[in-house]
Structure 1
Amino acid sequence: MPVTASEIGGPIAHGGNLSRARALFPHAPEPWIDLSTGINPYSYPHSPLPDNAFARLPDPALAERLKAIAAEAYGAPSAAHVAAGPGTQILLPILASLLGQGKATILSPTYAEHARAARMAGFEVTETDDLDRLASADLAVIVNPNNPTGRIVPKSDLLALAAIMRAKGGLLVVDEAFVDVSEAASAADAVDAGGLIVLRSFGKFYGMAGLRLGFAISRPDIARRIEDQLGPWAVSGPALHIASEALADGWWQAMMRQRLRDDAANLDIFLIGAGIPVFGGTSLFRFVRDARALAIFQHLGERGIVTRRFEERPADLRIGLPDKNGWPRLEDALKTI
């Protein structure tokens, strides 16, 4: 039987919570430099919104157009394979509910909301770092590339696992939230075979997490089931306008990937220069595993720079990219680590 959020401990702590940072470090200088998320600090420069973008309900024709553009951008077989919603976070419990109950196995450590959504749907959840153990599950979840470690599972392994899931009526969910800035190969072109759903997040790469937009790519019948649960007008008018531009803008995408690679390399230089080893990550965030992680978190926090630490893994830190105004303060803070 599905359980409620309160029964499993309620919402999980995530990055981006500046109110919590201010409470932890009340004397830190403002403005804060938020490096606790993996969100692009350079937002997509979209054209002006239509005058009626907020006054009218979202146009269904524009929603269908966005799905076609998303299918092209993400390598999905067609627009019918795409379901769009207000962020991939909203999609997680819907996907977990597609199977009913059973055993869910999640390749971990990773984004904790996958496990919470599965538990709320009534699954018995196991988290493991052994890819082979996912084959025995009814619902298998892989974040690829992984958040926060940057681990990449080869596409051949994903498709082999999807075939196992398909043969027994199970489901593999591959969360590709950070694949836009990774060498990982997307599995979106393989969903027609069944047993596989691919998630894509818009806000991270395009620097617009507040827009709340995400996509589930699957067989058309599954996409329709997801859309039925979302209901009408799941994507706002402003999101339809902005995302339709951004997903079709190949020049900006290529330019931004290179800029983020350069910034990530620069961040590595700063961290390594401060004696902080970089264990992994993507070009939107770096992953640190160090016994001094709490001390680093506190040192930076006292200087108005918040990073993402993990209570359950005290040696781990995720450090995102600063914007152009944040680099000097970060460099100064790291020099005195």
Structure 2
Amino acid sequence: MSDLIHGGDLISASAQYGIPVEEWLDLSTGINPVPYPVPQISEHCFQQLPYQSAEFKSAVKNYYGAEGVAANGTQQIIELLPSVLPSVSQELPILLPDCGYQEHRYSWQQHGRAINYYPATDQKAAEQCIQECIEQQLNTGVAMHLLLINPNNPTGIRFSPKQIYRWAEQMQQGAYLIVDEAFIDLSPEQSVLSDYDRFEQLGNILVLRSFGKFFGLAGIRLGFAFANQQILQQLQTELGPWAVNGPAQAVAIAAFNDAKWQAEARQKIRQNAQATLELWQPLLRTFNAELLSCDGLFLTVKLDAEKAKQIYQFLAEQGILIRLVLDDEFNCDLSADKAQSDSKNCLLRSGLVDTQNADPCEKLKRVISELLLTLE
């Protein structure tokens, strides 16, 4: 298990700042603040061994358009990928985003793999670097896996399915293109699974999908992998027969089949994203922050590191937890002008507030106003 600190760790925040867990406003994750309403669950789901039912598998295929392997969250799959991906050499390196979900990097490091990085805060720079690395592989014949977090958490950059297919076509034999689509549910047409025939034909793309973020039920611990049959069989063998508990399957069946709720949730998330941005705007203008992402389940800004730490600390002391992303945490230099400035930039990421819940909105608005008053 990794010792990396993730968003949502209210227990550590409570211990550090002396504020009870139940009194925090947690904006440190990208989880839908309006979760799917958990249905009544049959007692059999708790009593029987959780073999994956035909109803569960049908609901998965109905929602994702493909049959995959289910696990106790995508984290469980991420930890297995370096050991289950077949290759001409089991020591293939991997190309990762320099800003992104840290457990990907940690998993490949644990397996002793060489890691290269592409810039993930600039769309054009990312595409150019990835293309150059792929062309270098073509010229040298040396294969390398590639990971895309699409859209990227926390920077928000994203790649079109057309671009991803193009890169997959150019990959060396034995190399895989991994696409982490944990936040793609807001625009499922942008998933590489949306053209399943091409996905299946290429055979060298592996897609990760997360249940907890869009449906707002992270505690369910449910995630999926979609790949060719060889990879799926290897993953299933490693995961064993009871990778998804019975209650999780029951909730997922209801959620995946509820198209009405899904459509309404996408609309609410967009509304909540806009409302959250409006609450943050006075502070962002004051600190001259650069907005990187604001149209999904989180908003991310880039700003001076010392200012970001000041914001983070002030909010935490008032019981609001956000995500502070320092440049050394993600193997990248976020400075605006590395040649001419000694100042360091970093990222701040905030989850969404629910506009239908007045208390969190008022708390965030009040604390931001109090912080602004300290600057006068």
Q: Deviations over 1:111-155 (max 9, x none)?
A: 111111112223111122132255245211000000001111121
Structure 1-normalised TM-score?
0.90
- Corresponding position of 1:161: 167
CA distance in 1, matches of 2:210, 2:314: 32
Q: Which residue of 2 aligns with 1:194?
A: 203
Contact residue 28 and residue 302 of structure 1 kept, 8 A: no
State whether structure 2 residue 162 is matched by structure 1 residue 147: no
Displacement after TM superposition at 1:182 (Å):
4.1
Q: Deviations over 1:167-218 (max 9, x none)?
A: 4221010000000124771012243121100100000010111110000011
Q: How many corresponding residue pairs?
A: 322
- Structure 2 partner of 1:299: 314
With the length of structure 2 as denominator, give the TM-score of the two structures: 0.81
Q: Which shifted more, 123-132 or 198-207?
A: 123-132
What pairs up with 1:58-69 in 2 under 5 angstroms?
A: 58-60=50-52, 62=53, 64-69=54-59
Q: What letter corresponds to residue 243 of structure 1 in structure 2?
A: A
RMSD (Å), alpha carbons: 2.0
Amino acid at match of 2:9: N
Q: Any gaps of 5 or more consecutive residues in structure 1?
A: none
Letter of the 1:114 counterpart = H
Q: Extract unaligned runs of 5+ from structure 2.
A: 120-128, 138-142, 330-344, 372-376
Given that residues 200 and 215 in structure 1 are in contact (C-alpha distance below 8 angstroms), is that contact kept between their aligned partners in structure 2? yes
**Alignment CA distance shift 1:104-1:44 (3 Å):** same
The match for 1:138 is 144
The 2-side partners of 1:29 and 1:52 are apart by 32
User: What is the rounded CA distance, in whole Å, between the counterparts of 2:246 and 2:162 in structure 1?
Assistant: 38
Is 2:42 the counterpart of 1:50? yes
- Secondary structure of the residue aligned to 1:336 is helix
Aligned letter for 2:82? A
- Relative to 1, partners in 2 of residues 1:107 and 1:146: Cα closer, same or farther, differing over 3 Å? same
Q: What is the aligned partner in structure 2 of residue 89 from structure 1?
A: 75
Query: Percent same amino acid among aligned pairs?
Result: 34
Alignment of 1:110-149 (within 5 A): 110-129=100-119, 130-135=129-134, 136=137, 138-149=144-155
Is 1:213 equivalent to 2:213 in the alignment? no
Cα deviation code 1:38-58 (max 9, x no counterpart): 111112113200012212111
Equivalent position amino acid for 1:261 in 2:
R
Match in the other structure for 2:94 = 104
Q: Which deviates further from its counterpart, 129-138 or 202-211?
A: 129-138
Change (3 A) 1:181 1:268: same
> Which amino acid in 1 is paired with 2:225?
A
Verify the 8 A CA contact 2:300 2:348 in the aligned structure 1. yes
For 1:55-103, what per-residue CA distance to the aligned partner results, in whole angstroms no more than 9, with x for missing partners?
211133x1x4323322221232xx2xx1111100000122221233211
User: Which whole-Å CA distance do the structure 1 matches of 2:59 and 2:192 have between them?
Assistant: 17
Q: How far apart are the structure 1 equivalents of 2:156 and 2:349?
A: 10
Match of 2:176 in 1: 171
- Is the CA contact 1:191–1:217 (under 8 Å) kept in the aligned structure 2? no
